[in-house]
Amino acid sequence: MPITATTRVLGSSPAAAQLIEAVERRTGIRLASVETAPAEIELFVDPNSSAPEGYTLEIGDRAIAVGADEAGLFYGVQTLLQLLRQDDFGWGLLRADVADSPRFPRRGVMLDVARHFFGVDDVKKFIDSTSALKFNHLHLHLSDDQGWRVHIDSWPRLTELSASTSANGDPGGFYTKDDYRKIVDYAAARHMIVIPEIDLPGHTHAIGVAYPELVEAPVMNDNLIADSRRLGQPLPVAGEIYLGWGVGHSSVRIHEERTYDFVRDVVRELAEMTPGPYIHIGGDESLGTPQADFDLFAERATAIVVEAGKTPVAWHEMGSAADIAEGTVGQYWGMTTPEGTHAEEAAHFVERGGALIMSAANVTYLDMKYTEDFPLGLTWAAIIDVRSAYEWEPTTILDVPDTAILGVEAPLWSETTRTLDDVEQLVFPRAAAQAEVAWSPREAPERVWESFRVRLGSLAPLWKAEGVDFHPADEIPWSAR
Ligand code: TNX
């Protein structure tokens, strides 16, 4: 059906306004919003129409989208926008007859704002581009060795002293509480739940810059020393801002009560400004923390999150702790073929009544290079081309019931990304692969590479119109318009 300046949109949902804005950005055509039928494009919410977050979309002479809820309608609109085309005669929508709902309730992306800081406007743009792919969770990695990025009233030196720089001495920054709330609200308007992460008990060098009494002296490991030498980066020095990106050298003091006062305060303040149900407390790569201490910390920290009324999320290593709080969600970041004790640790979350998010590093990590010579990104987990990002199955990696898999999260670690353009180069198009893995049924005629690559290629004009700086990988037949 044609899209012209006389095309009318009927619908009182926020999705109607979002549609009108997006069509205008793409085509320059401002659709008319009307309050009574008839209209060429009609948008409704009808709880009987589909499963949660689902929608139906019929496009013929008219376009009718019906969401099971506001999120479903928002997703129906995103699909409609993907079907917008320009030809010699003008703009139009492709014919369609879609009944769609997500496979997994949890479809996430993570942005590491600790290694490099990204301000509110950057995060908003990241929310725009990822929610358009039907991601519904945004995990913000708010603290790491290199910086602390959210203001905490009861521990003000965190942002006073530990936020001014990023990795390699690039500019830093932090979110005021107001900034953080703006991000949360902006995400909610696009049906994304924000999951704040404070990484503990390792990845805590920056805490020690502000409050030396909370952390142990840095523990140098062989990898850290070798990486620092190879990259020409300094080694961590107690109490001084760390500008390298080696890992595993920092730990909070496990046997000091003050540490738990700190964790309790931070979790409480985060919980107060986070409407979503989750607080992530990290747990990865605490190489300098003795195992028994690490387990003790995992038990106490997850209990503190539960006391604050939230569901704890932790990287899978915390599954080593026998008494981790019941219901804690584990985030598996091992390989698609698990190594060492990773599978066991992950399974323990399920034994404790929790569930799992799959972030298998060798397929979902958005910070891995596409090709050996790609200018951005790392290589430790794998070189991940678009096809290998797409061709994996989240339920067959671990020996847990399928129902224990909440879904998928694709993390973007920001050691090498200095700007949002850098981030977008790594995230797009591979985030689209994870979006489809998380949304689409496991067995479907279209859930194959040959179909995906063509549909993915058709997103190029949309991304260009939205100013998304995607990587034009040569595996994909990108459409010109
Ligand atoms: C491992 S994955 C990390 C991060 C790094 C990332 C780089 C995980 C839970 N920890 O600290 O940034 O590798 O790819």
Residue nearest to atom 11 of ligand 1 (CA): 247
CA of 108 to the centre of ligand 1 (A): 16
For the chain, domain boundaries: 2-100, 106-465
CATH of domain 106-465: 3.20.20.80
The residue whose C-alpha atom lies closest to atom 13 belonging to ligand 1 is 413
| Per-residue pLDDT at 288 exceeds 90 | no
- Mean pLDDT for 435-461 is 97
Share of the chain above pLDDT 70, in %: 100
Atom of ligand 1 nearest to the CA of 285: 10
**Which is it for strands 90-93 and 96-100: parallel, antiparallel or unpaired?**
unpaired
Ligand 1: which atom is nearest the Cα of residue 381?
14
For 129-150, b/e burial (b = at least 16 CB within 10 A) is: bbbbbbbbbbbbbbbbbbbbbb
Q: Each residue of 207-255: pLDDT tens digit?
A: 999 999 999 999 999 999 999 999 999 999 999 999 999 999 999 999 9
Round the CA-based radius of gyration of the chain to a whole number and report it.
Answer: 23
Nearest-CA residue for ligand 1 atom 4 is 413
CA distance 251 to 128: 35
pLDDT at residue number 49: 87
Task: Return d(Cα 325, Cα 55) in angstroms, integer.
Answer: 36
Give yes or no for residue 278 having a pLDDT over 90: yes
- CA 413 to ligand 1 centroid distance, Å: 7
Single out the residue of 142, 439, 185 nearest to residue 313, CA to CA: 142
Q: pTM for this one?
A: 0.98
- CB-based contact 286:201 (threshold 8 Å): yes
pLDDT for the residue numbered 50: 87
Is 2-100 CATH 3.30.379.10?
A: yes
Strands 55-59 and 84-87: unpaired
